[in-house]
Copies of this chain bind each other. A is one copy, B any other.
C-alpha cells in the first residue's frame, strides 16, 4: 500500500540533520520519496499539516515482562528490588499474564512514538513476547533472560544446558522473522545470575547467529562489587575475558565503570543502553554519558522496566537524559539534537538496524512518528530539537507508522482494545497478589 503524507514538518535525522517542510511517499514498507509537492498516485493521502514527523523512536532497553508490575516496587535499590519484588513476580508469570504484560508495554511504547525496541525477555514462556511483538507490528529484538547461577529464585533458575538450548530454539524460530522485522538477541541477565560458561558460550552463539548480546552491567555499586568479588574484575573486563566484547555487545546502565573499562568499551565498540529514570529511581547513580559520547561510544536510550520507572515513555527518557548530566558536565552538555539522535539514528546503530530505521531517508523502512505541533505547552520555539526533547511529551504523539503500516492513528491503537487490555491487566495482577 502506497501512502502519500503531505505537508509535514520533517525532522529527518539524516547525516546532515535536514529539517524540511514537505511530503513523504511510502511504497509498501519503504520510504520511496521525500520532497516538496509530491503528486504521486497513492492508496491513501494523509494530511500532516500541523504535525512534526520524526523517525520512529528507538527504545534500546526494556522489559515487556515487567509492565504488569508497575508501581509495585518503589523505594528499593537494585538487588533488593530484584530479590524482594521483581524476580518473585517474574517467576509467577503464566503464559497468559506474560501476554498481558507484553501487550501493556507495547501499547504504552507505541503510543509514545516508539517503533523499535530491544527487549530483555524472561526465563519462561518467551514465545509469547515474540507473538505479541509480531501482533503489535513493532520492530526489534527480544530474547529470553538467561539465569543459571547465583542468588536467584528457583522459579527462574535453569541449567546452563537448558538455557542455551532454549535460547537457540527461540533464535531459530524468531530471528529474522517477518523479513527481519523481529529478531533474536541473546540475553544473559547479568553476570551475577550466570555461570562463566553461559556467558562465554552465549557470546559464541551471538556471533554465530550474527545478532546481539544483550545484558546488564555495572548498574549498581553493590552489584559491581559482587562481580569483582566473584570474578576478580569489573563487568566490562569480565566480558572481555570471556571474549564477549564487540560491536554486538549491548550493555544496559554502565554507571560504575572505570577509565580502563571505558577504554575497553571504546576499543571493542561496545554499546551503552542508557536508562536515566531507572538509574535514578533505584538510587543506582548517573551514567557518565557525556564521557561515552566524547569517546565515540554509541549510546542509546531505554525506559527499562515499568517497576523501576514507572513508565515506558521514551519522551521522559529523552528529557531526563538531557537534564541529569548538566549539573556535572555543564548546561551546554547533552544538546537536544544529540539526545534526539540517541533515541533515533544512534539507537538504530546500536541495534545494528540503521540500514532499516532511525532516520527518514529514501530506502529505509517507513517507521514514522507524528507529533502535534501547536500545543500550548510546546510553543513557541526557536529550536525544533529543544521542542521535541524538552517540551513535547508522549501524549503529543498523534499517529505512528511502522514498516509502512499504521499502528496508531488519531490517538487510537489499531491492533489493540486499550480499555479491555486495562481490565485484563487489573485482573491478572490480582492473581499475583492473591497467591
Q: List A residues at the B interface (Cβ < 8 Å).
A: 68, 70-72, 74-77, 81, 104, 107-108, 111-112, 277, 279-286, 309-313, 316, 319-320, 322-324, 326-327, 329-333, 335-336, 374-383, 386-387, 390-391, 393-395, 418-419, 421-423, 425-426, 429, 433
In Å, the complex CA distance between A327 and B288 comes to: 14
**Nearest B residue to A104, CB-CB:** B376
- Which B residues touch A320, using CB under 8 A? 320, 323
Instruction: State how many angstroms separate the Cβ of A180 from the closest Cβ of chain B.
Output: 28
Given A279-B327, A281-B326, A311-B390, 4 more pairs with CB closer than 8 A: A71-B378, A75-B335, A283-B327, A320-B323
Contact A379 B70 (CB under 8 A): yes
Could you tell me the distance between the alpha carbons of A310 and B280 in the complex, rounded to whole angstroms? 21
Q: Across the interface, do B382 and A283 meet the contact criterion of CB distance under 8 Å?
A: no
Across the interface, do B330 and A77 meet the contact criterion of CB distance under 8 Å? Answer: yes
A379 interface neighbour in B323, B391, B425, Cβ under 8 Å: B425
Q: Which 8 A-B pairs have the closest CB atoms?
A: A283-B331, A71-B381, A395-B395, A280-B323, A310-B390, A380-B429, A283-B326, A71-B386
- Closest Cβ of chain B to A339, distance in Å, is 11
Oligomer copy total:
2
Residue numbers in B under 8 Å from A386 (CB-CB): 71, 74, 310
- Known contacts being A376-B421, A422-B376, is A76 close to B311, with CB within 8 Å? no
Shortest CB-to-CB span from A304 to chain B, Å, is: 13
A316 contacts across to B, CB distance below 8 A: 319
B331 touching A282, Cβ below 8 Å: yes
Contact of A326 with B108 in the complex, beta carbons under 8 Å? no
Closest Cβ neighbor of A416 among chain B residues:
B376
Report Cα–Cα, A282/B327, bound state, in Å: 8
Given A71-B390, A324-B324, A377 and B277 contact (CB-CB distance below 8 Å) = no
Q: Given contacts A311-B390, A393-B395, A418-B376, is CB(A381)–CB(B280) below 8 Å?
A: no
A325 → B minimal CB distance (Å): 9
B74 touches A281 (CB 8 A): no
In the complex, the answer to whether B282 meets A77 with C-beta atoms within 8 Å is no
Closest to A280 in B: B323
